[in-house]
Structure 1
Amino acid sequence: MTTLDIHQIKNYLPHRYPFLLLDRILSVEPQESLVALKNVTINEPYFEGHFPHRPVMPGVLILEAMAQASAILASHDLEDEIDIENRVYYFTGIDKARFKRPVEPGDQLIIEVKIERRIQNMWKCSGTAKVEGNLACRTELMFTYKDL
């Protein structure tokens, strides 16, 4: 089992503020699953407009956080040298996305992704995002990578 701090996460993902949406990887089981943490703070730039009177994390950003977690899991699945300068992961599809509760400032979002299938450089993962053990979102993600 592997854990990663924010500095190590930056070695896997090209995303940076304000679009790096993971704070810590709590565990990685290569070729199986990954658990990540996102601390949701009032300082997130999207809360200024979504919504000023009752800030809620946009669902598409919850999905993006899940996609970022999936990309890190795929990197572990490949067992390749990390090369974020020359490899980019792309979403290719999303299925069965459901949002069950709002995610608000002060929440800790726990994201779990599991590899369901891999064919060459294409992955399908199932994912959940929970707050205090309560399901906020679930989905299926499909993605690939491109070497630049």
Structure 2
Amino acid sequence: MVLNQEEIKQIIPHRAPFLFLDEVLECEVAKRTKAVWRIREDLFCFKGHFPGNPILPGVLITEALAQAGAVAILQDEKYKGRLAVFGGIDRVRFRGMVKPGDDLVLETEILRLSAMGGKGKVKATVDGKTVCEGEILFVLTKQD
């Protein structure tokens, strides 16, 4: 299942400047997602991280991975109308830098899922090289 950004907005509540998914390339509902975030030179964080040597902050990579996972989960009829929020971050390691012009490929695999939340295995790559990997925990809450 391929989704453009407008279709992604129908699934998760994130909006600019904090919606990091440009496109979902593959998705198995409640199981796995593969998405892409095209890293633009004008991204808000590059102005100060770091002037003259822009590097995408790891916390934003982690958030993008969580958004990709939320797309898979929130398409399941059981979880529609819910909000997936961070419950924890385990064993996350950063293995490379992400720069303007990169296509950051975000892969999530849902390891555990219940009405309360779950756990996902995540990996981000640029040109096939792993730049981030680990596990994220999430809680499913009601949207206000």
Q: Once the two structures are superposed, what CA deviation does each residue of 1:61-112 show, in whole Å capped at 9, x if it has no partner?
A: 0000001111111113x324843xxx32210010001000000000000000
In the alignment, structure 2 segments of 5+ residues that lack a partner are none
State the AA in 2 paired with 1:108: D
Question: CA 1:145 to 1:119, structure 2 compared with 1: closer, same or farther past 3 Å?
Answer: closer
**Equivalent pair of 1:11/1:82 in contact (CA under 8 Å):** no
For the pair 1:131 / 2:130, whether they are aligned, the reply is no
Q: Does 1:103 align with 2:98?
A: yes
Aligned residue among 45, 53, 77 for 1:79:
77
The secondary structure found in structure 2 opposite 1:12 is: coil
The residue that corresponds to 1:66 in the other structure is 65
Q: Is the 8 A contact 1:22 1:65 kept in 2?
A: yes
Question: Structure 2 counterpart of 1:18, which letter?
Answer: P
Question: What does residue 21 of structure 2 align with?
Answer: 22
Q: Which runs of 4+ in 1 moved over 2 A?
A: 78-83
Give the aligned partner of residue 115 of structure 2. Answer: 120
Flag the 1:117–1:80 CA change in 2: closer, same or farther, 3 A: closer
TM-score (ref. length: structure 2): 0.94
> What displacement does 1:117 show?
1.1
What is the Cα-based RMSD across aligned positions, in Å?
Answer: 1.3
C-alpha distance in structure 2 between counterparts of 1:29 and 1:141, whole Å: 18
Q: How many correspondences in the alignment? A: 143
After superposition, what is the alpha-carbon deviation per residue over 1:6-56, rounded to whole angstroms, capped at 9, x for unaligned? 000111121111110110000101232110000001110100000012000
Contact 2:73 2:79 in 1 (8 A): no
Structure 1 residues without counterparts, runs of 5 or longer: none
Whether the 8 Å CA contact 2:30–2:74 is kept in 1: the answer is no
User: Given residue 136 of structure 2, which amino acid in structure 1 is its aligned partner?
Assistant: L
TM-score (norm 1): 0.91
- What amino acid does structure 2 have at the position aligned with 1:105? P
